[in-house]
Chain A
Amino acid sequence: MKAQESEKKLKLAMYRRMLLCRMFEERVYYLFLEGRLPGTIHQSQGQEATAVGVCSALEPKDMVTSTHRPHSHAIARGVPIDSLMAELFAKLTGCCRGKGGSMHVGDVEAGMLPAIAIVGGAIPLAAGYALAFKRLKQPNIVACFFGEGATNIGSFHEAINMAAIWDLPVVFVCENNRYAASTAVEKVMKVKHVSERAAAYGIPGVTVDGNDVEVVYGAMMEAGARARSGKGPTLLELETYRFAGHSRSDPGHYRTAEEVEAWKQRDPIQVFQTRLLNEGILKPGDAEQIASEIEQQLEAAIAQAEQDPSPEPEDCLTDVFAN
């Protein structure tokens, strides 16, 4: 009974977290169109199961590294929504005090390094953080997010090889959303699955449905247990799709309407919601209630962020060096 209760609690928590990711991104998209946010944004609608499935399998002191598309990773990891929103509004109360912006959100207190916006750039960092865990004898792991596009850059290969030879406690999580900006994966990769590349480094490579949060969670628990027990890294490929464009100005003309529609039929939130309704974990009306609570949470975060103080111009000059 107790196990069942905690499983139900986990599923509900994952559902709520996925919906928060989606609604955050939708709301941010409109804020952007309204001209209320500076900069650019790379959004993750459609990739909620990867972020939430992976982060739900982590311990509080584990660490996450992320990419130029980090909003859902941050939300899934538990970076406070107020500080995320404030960062997008370039406020002093932002998780990076206005010095990061959309592409660098993160909060080491919450277990997420500032996101790294150079493709593949965080992969060696993740391995290094894992080396620190190992050397300091902390029983923790690093979850390193990147897209399939990053698996063609040298830092991916160099870092995975070193993590493999040293059995570092890191899970390399590839969100394969099939497009590196506008370039389809088939055009730039000869192997069928990213996970096949694991064979070159003597580590397990696994490909799973990245739009099923329970499948992702299960795969991450397994890869995480392996890393935690000192057996080294896994390359975990999560097959998914971004419903949004690459960045704010991308209408996505390189994808057919049929392809987008087919993936929308596999919308990770819809799939999970239907399942939870069938299992009786969500009752009719629950989903609407949760959505309404999230909406209030987001509106409160926006109102707060708009009121929050901006940095002073001269704050530009601080935080270059420690001491």
Chain B
Amino acid sequence: MSSPTKTTSNQPSQSREMTMAEALREALREEMRRDERVILLGEDIGIEGGFGGAFTVTLGLSEEFGHERILDTPISEAAIAGIATGAAVGGLRPVADVQYGDFLFLTMDQLANNAAKLRYMSGGKLSVPMVFRAPVGATTRGSQHGQSLEAFFMHVAGLKVACPSNPYDGKGMLKSAIRDDNPVIFFEHKLLYGSKGARKEKGGLQVVAHVPEEEYLVPLGEAKVVRPGRDVTLVANLLMVHKSMQAANLLAEKGIEAEVIDVRSLVPFDWATVFDSVRKTGRLVVVEEDNLTGGWGAEVVARVADQCIGYLDGPIRRIAAPDTPVPFAPIMENFYVPSVDRIVVTVTDLVAPH
């Protein structure tokens, strides 16, 4: 396995083994030390005695950087997005966040009409160097705190979209996003934070990764083959990378070698890595947590059909949530979110049809 990620069971963090929340926090701290123009904006991110954002990512940062740079806002998502955009145009590098990705719908005018288009409408004279962080994923919070929204933003020309699946990529990609001169919507999965204490996420994966002492960046727009294989290509993001890896390990026991690709960025998208893999394996399964219709996986399938159709040895399969809101009851949520078992069954059926 070429990924620096490993999944452990309740193993305490080693010195440089970090959770996603810790790695993202370190990225923010390093970039704030490096560049005075980096500021943070969000709800409950820097309050003394508070919890450092909904998932502890900004915990302790206001002690080092003060409330001039860690700006606790009112509950005003549209203004958070618009003020971040205006501040970016004005020469700062804001990193704003919403507590739950679902609240991004409140920011849509500012992100889709202003942040995404100001450079274009100005004829290339302006740039909008901002990051907007958003936690996604179904976690028994029901329909308005559990959606996966990547596809909405992938569709808006002028926005970059990042979705790291592990702490190593999370840190390196957040640093790249902060240094990027474009607006980047940065999706994080709630079950991958590894947040501790009261903010610990029930059902969360204990994902930790080795994070080097020395500085590094992970560029936006590069997918990663996290497991090589010859029989089928699994393309996934966020939590689904981990489920795909678990499925791949089970499939290997049946003699099916799955290649797993973590897309990492949706905009820009690393088409070459996906095309190369599909041309090698001849089979494609896309795994995403979003609703099936119009999800980012649909775009992957369309491009592969356009570019690799002659290499395919079977139909393309899509594994996604059904076209319903996110349900609350765990028994229904488990049905809604694509499972390891569903991936195994789908791939087995595809590779070795009865």
**Residues in chain A within 8 A of chain B (CB atoms):** 63, 94-100, 104, 106-109, 113-114, 116, 118, 121-133, 135-136, 154-155, 158-159, 161-162, 165-166, 318-323
Contacts and interface: CB of A to CB of B under 8 A. Distances in A.
Contacts of B91: 132, 136
A128 B87 contact: yes
Contacts of B79: 124, 127, 155, 158-159, 161-162
B166 interface: no
Contact of B120 (A99, A106, A132): A99
Interface in B179-199: 180-182
Interface in B20-61: 37, 39
A125 B126 contact: no
Contact of B89 (A95, A125, A158): A125
A118 B157 CA distance: 18
Given A121-B110, A162-B73, A320-B158, A100 B82 contact: no
A96 B123 contact: yes
21 contacts: A94-B123, A104-B122, A106-B122, A108-B125, A108-B126, A114-B121, A124-B86, A127-B82, A128-B89, A129-B89, A135-B68, A136-B37, A154-B78, A162-B79, A162-B83, A319-B119, A319-B122, A321-B119, A321-B158, A322-B129, A323-B180
Most chain B CB neighbours (cut-off 10 Å) among A106, A124, A133, A155: A124
A323 B109 CA distance: 24
Contacts of A135: 37, 39, 68-69, 87, 92
B353 interface: no
Given A96-B121, A128-B88, A320-B119, A121 B109 contact: yes
A124 B78 contact: yes
Interface of B: 37, 39, 68-69, 71, 73-74, 76, 78-79, 81-92, 94, 109-110, 113-114, 118-127, 129, 157-158, 160, 180-182
A119 B157 CA distance: 21
Nearest to B130: A128
A121 B90 CA distance: 16
Given A136-B92, A155-B109, A320-B157, A127 B124 contact: no
B351 to A, nearest CB: 39
A121 B118 CA distance: 12
Nearest to A316: B120
Contact of B123 (A98, A118, A127, A132): A98
Nearest to B268: A321
Most chain B CB neighbours (cut-off 10 Å) among A104, A109, A125: A125
A96 B181 CA distance: 19
Contacts of A94: 123
A59 to B, nearest CB: 15
B74 A158 contact: yes
Nearest to A104: B121
Given A131-B86, A159-B82, A318 B124 contact: yes
B76 A162 contact: yes
A186 to B, nearest CB: 27
A64 to B, nearest CB: 13
Nearest to B128: A322
A133 B78 CA distance: 21
A131 B68 CA distance: 10
Given A114-B122, A320-B157, A133 B82 contact: no
A50 to B, nearest CB: 22
A151 to B, nearest CB: 15
A189 B280 CA distance: 65
Nearest to B87: A128
A320 B122 contact: no
B75 to A, nearest CB: 9
Contacts of A318: 124
A128 B85 contact: yes
The 7 closest A-B pairs by CB, nearest first: A128-B86, A124-B82, A132-B90, A97-B123, A158-B79, A319-B124, A322-B181
